[in-house]
Amino acid sequence: MITHYKVGKHLACGRHGSNLIASTELARVKCRNCKNTDVFKEARRDARNAARRAARQAKAAHSASDWRSVWVERLRQIPGRQRLPRGFGNQPYV
């Protein structure tokens, strides 16, 4: 059976019937007419962009905080009065 894309109460391709299988999940849609509609293409584009945005934010948050803490710890382990760069702490010397 062919799975159609459901938008609200209607199918994207415009077919009618009580025996038709419909889904709002983009990966399950098999109907070529539904896949070629602007509604389906926009939903697929939005889902793809949301996934990319989430991956980019997760990667940025992980790497942004990681290097800073490693660098501060490295400077603290150096013997003597080593100065931390601006913005790394309220202490003038470590």
Give DSSP secondary structure letters for 4-50.
Answer: EEEETTEETT----SS-EEES-GGG---HHHHTSHHHHHHHHHHHHH
Residue 42 confidence (pLDDT): 97
CA 61, distance to chain mean position in Å, is 13
Give the three-class secondary structure for 3: strand
Helix or strand run (H / E) with residue 55: helix 38-77
Question: What pTM, to 2 d.p., does this model score?
Answer: 0.61
Instruction: Evaluate if residue 94 carries a pLDDT over 60.
Output: no
Over residues 22-70, the pLDDT tens digits come to 999 999 999 999 999 999 999 999 999 999 999 988 877 666 567 777 7
**Tokens 């013997």 sit on residue:** 79
More confident residue, 18 or 5: 5
Residue boundaries of the structural domains of the chain = 3-77
Stretch 74-86: mean pLDDT: 69
